[in-house]
Amino acid sequence: MKDSRLATIFVIVTFTAAFMLSGFNQLVPEYFPAPLADPLLAFYSNFTASGLYDGGEASLNAGQEIVSQIESLCIARGADKTAGDSIRSVAADLLNNRILNGHLRAYELYLYYGNRQNFVVILRGEFDRQRIASSIGSEKTIVDEKTVVARLNSPLNQQQNLYLHVTSDEIMICPENISGNVVTELAARHNVLGKEFEAFAKMVRVRPAMAAEVNLTALRGDLAGGIPEWLEPLGYARLIVSSRLTKLQLFVPDADQRAKMLRQIEGMVGSLREFAGNLVDFAATPDGNSIFIEAPAGEELERLLGCRSVSFFTHFFVRAQKNQLVVSARQDDVVTE
């Protein structure tokens, strides 16, 4: 994966909607998986907020929204516009026959990223280990009574393998060389996330549709120029999208750069409204060393962005050219019929 693609993912994560910590001070401590102590990016997505698993009309509406978004994303990333029907067919098959039937019934996604050698992706939900092992191939998997283990090519580092660890309620992917520690922490249910991400922990414990925290100052070196120029002054960002609160905090320490970025963001508010299905208006305001982008909270916005999250992470698995599902963003990695 090129630096520009990685940067695009981070920008999408940052600008999908908005953050602030207020309103989440009185929380009951609850475990969530966090096996890296000092990431530079922490991201959470609650797929159940989409309504996909609610059953009835809510599930049907969510499925239609997700399929439509997958089509748009695939075409935006280069798929032929005439392949729309094929994309929708493959996406619907993925939802109905791989996700809703319990094969890959993902409820939550956690992503922790330090650098290309130190990151973890975790899916929690209900998973059919035997079908997953069969899809990958018996020659590439180790299967026992409780787990499926496989080693895959890494799209971020050609010299390193990824370690895939599957149980009935969790899928974990990380670089092979850190897999021992990660598996140990997950098995012991140890949350080792450092104090710098205490705000992220508080957000996640209320299970919003989405939450994120990113240290762009530290992350910038790993992206090697992949961040858009107008975001260069941004040092830190926090995000939460829930039915109670929708805010994004952008920490820009330089006053002149902060004023310039505020003007640029104000010009993007219309695009944010369109991205959010024209459900709400967004407002950008400065406060101290930060810029806050805020929208009225509500269940409709939470549901829509839940659908957008499912669509974004699912579209990587859809290839309309052939009726196949791909277990990676790389065409030469594992393909399942």
Domain coordinates in residue numbering, the chain: 3-323
Of 21-30, 132-141, 171-180, the least confident = 21-30
Give the percent of the chain with pLDDT over 90: 51
Task: Indicate if the pLDDT at residue 44 is higher than 90.
Answer: yes
Task: Indicate if the pLDDT at residue 335 is higher than 90.
Answer: no
pLDDT at 163: 96
Rounded Cα distance between 289 and 252, Å, is: 6
Identify the helix (H) or strand (E) that includes residue 247: strand 246-251
pLDDT band at 322 (very low <50, low <70, confident <90, very high): very low
pLDDT at 224: 62
More confident residue, 329 or 135: 135
Measuring CA to CA, how many Å separate 225 from each of 5, 163, 220, 229, 267?
A: 12, 28, 7, 9, 24
Q: What is the pTM of this model?
A: 0.83
Task: Name the 3-class secondary structure at 167.
Answer: coil
| Encoded tokens for 306 | 């839940």
More confident residue, 250 or 18: 250
Tens digits of per-residue pLDDT, 267-284?
887 777 777 767 778 889
Tens digits of per-residue pLDDT, 80-91?
888 888 889 989
